[in-house]
Amino acid sequence: MILANGTVFSGTSIGACEDRICELVFNTSMTGYQEILTDPSYAGQGVVMSYPLIGNYGVNHEDNESGQPWAEAFVVRHLSPRGSNFRCEDTLDQYLKNYGISGIQGVDTRALTKILRSEGSMNAMLTCAEYFSVEESLEAIRAYRVKGTVERVSRKEPEIFPAYETQRHRVALMDYGVKQSMIECLRRRGCQVTVFPASTPAAQVLAGNFDGVMLSNGPGDPADNGTIIQEVRALYESQLSLFAVCLGHQLLALATGAKTGRLPYGHRGGNHPVRDLAEGRVFITSQNHGYMVLADTVDPKVAEISHTNVNDQTVEGLRYKRPNCFTVQFHPEASPGPQDTEYLFDRFVSMLKTRNGGNQ
């Protein structure tokens, strides 16, 4: 594995033995590698798992967050040769091979994580070539850029998911790279969820007479999505109840005049402390993002900061001044990670009840 700074790590190939260039990021979760691999927010990226033993409980179809894994590459210290779990359907190595994901084990992931923390997320190349030139590889590695990922991971056609029990609400969910757990959180709360492709015009969504709209997570630089941002602005101006997560949170901030910036090495893992300023409490959250909303660009007439990251004080949530609209940077649906902040889905559903006259 060749890093953009010229550092070379040697190890043993896992998964597909194919040359792969990607943006390399690290995740501090101890479990949940299958959910991480299938999170569309990792499109274009290679994931370094900082926990040393990965794959010990295998993989299964039930825990997937989307129809396929989206990570470009997978880097671990030690890959368990077998999965020990009553739900195990395959080994992680075979799963990586099935989907053409290149990987490497035997790497000092602690040293690698320290490089990414000190120098920031950087591009890298995985190769199984017996002979290669670091100097010649670096030009292609440094030229790589994650782009066009939202269009790649989003659904191509709308899809409807019924509520699990009594249907009380109809919610439109914009798929910028949505995780299945987000859909499930709404279905369990009596919502029929219609998932729309990222490119769907706001007018088409508004014509559906939904009770509320949710903007999903997703990959890449939020500022690259100019057309989507214009449609998000139209959804914001509709006055429908609106809840946005991760990339959706950033897109709505951009649509209302704020700016976003790149974090040095991102927030990725299941142990990130976030302070809810209104409740005066700290929650442990699941996160996966490399960009943030810049606090000093948020217009106080438009929104106020509702959540902050305890570690670096970055913006983790916004409460908008217009009725029934709020956003968060972290993942309240978790998977993997703690479910401490699922209460935010209850808050969103209560807004739908208000719109329906409070009698649901």
Query: Which neighbouring-strand residues pair with 285?
Result: 272
Q: What is the dihedral of CA 320, 322, 325, 327, to 10 degrees?
A: -20
Q: Computed over its alpha carbons, how large is the radius of gyration of the chain?
A: 20
Q: Is 333 annotated in the active site?
A: yes
Check 249, 272, 307, 331 and give the catalytic one. 331
191 part of the active site: no
Distance CA 116, CA 309 (A): 20
- 78 in catalytic set: no
CB 47 within 8 A of CB 111: no
Q: What CA–CA distance (Å, rounded) separates 337 from 341? A: 11
| Amino acid, single-letter form, for residue 71 | A
Q: Which of 246, 272, 307, 325 is catalytic?
A: 246
Active-site residue identified among 23, 65, 72, 333 = 333
Spatial distance between the Cα atoms of 188 and 146, rounded to a whole number of angstroms? 34
Distances (CA, A) of 77 to 20, 48, 62, 161, 168: 19, 9, 26, 39, 47
Distances in Å between the Cα of 337 and the Cα atoms of 30, 36, 165, 285 are: 9, 10, 26, 7
What residues act catalytically? 246, 331, 333
